[in-house]
Amino acid sequence: MNMLRGALAALVTGVCTVLVVLAVSILPYLNPVWVSFEQGRAQALAWTGFSEATLATVTNEILADLVLGPPDFDVTLDGAPVLNERERSHMRDVRAVFVMLYAAAAASLVLLIVLAVVARARGALARAAMWRRLRGTGTAIAVVTVAGGAVAIMFFDTAFELFHRTFFPSGTYLFDPRTERLVQLFPEQFWVDTSIAVGATAIVIGLVLRRLGRRRAAQAERGR
């Protein structure tokens, strides 16, 4: 029974920690500074034909709808919508995925806090076990992200397609870069660079969690 309880605690701790780390890793890149920088690298000005001011205005409105809502994505230029209905529909789907992720991450954070409080109440051995689980999860996050990221970079188109098939209805995420603004505003290079940045952030957090978990577990064991 104790083994089963420990395995369940490890599973819950691991899943919750992964969700929180993923949500935290994405946050730094949902801001206009990063988006503008990456659009420059991806040559969004050339793709869209917009001026810098127009590109910033359009992008910031789309980003605001994504992060803050409401998810209308109805930005216009000279009275004409920038995104067509298919593009707006996809962006609404994207926001729904974000909402689910951050809701799950928030619930996971609450559950981790509860587990930490329970472990603290049960004494040093329970605290040490909790920190060891976090250390193991941090290690797994770093290792899996490095390995998975290397594969995803080498086969980015396949990974991108697999990701979209998993979270979005088939065919709703395919756009023509010659005529549709969504992929002109956010070209492929934008997503390659941003994916690498998110992965690097997750690796750093994983390594910090590994180091912190090891130290705190040792402290708890010494304080028995």
pLDDT at 1: 58
Give the number of domains in the chain. Answer: 1
């990456």: which residue's tokens? 38
CB 170 within 8 A of CB 46: no
pTM for the structure as a whole: 0.89
CB 30 within 8 A of CB 66: yes
Longest CA pairwise span in the chain (Å): 70
pLDDT values of the chain reduced to their tens digit, one per residue, 224 residues: 566 776 787 888 999 999 999 999 999 999 999 999 999 999 999 999 999 999 999 999 999 999 998 999 999 998 899 999 999 999 999 999 999 999 999 999 999 999 999 988 888 888 889 999 999 999 999 999 999 888 888 888 888 888 888 888 888 888 999 999 999 999 999 999 999 999 999 999 999 999 999 999 888 777 65
pLDDT at 6: 67
Beta bridge partners of 76: 81
* Dist CA 90 CA 71 (whole Å): 11
Handedness of CA 89, 95, 101, 104 (dihedral sign): negative
Q: What range does the domain containing 68 cover? A: 2-222
Rg (CA), the chain: 21
Alpha helices in the chain (DSSP H): 2-26, 32-41, 44-48, 52-67, 85-122, 124-154, 156-167, 181-185, 188-222
Phi and psi for 163 in degrees, rounded to 5? -60, -50
Strand, coil or helix: 201:
helix
Cα–Cα distances in Å, from 165 out to 25, 84, 143, 216? Answer: 22, 21, 25, 41
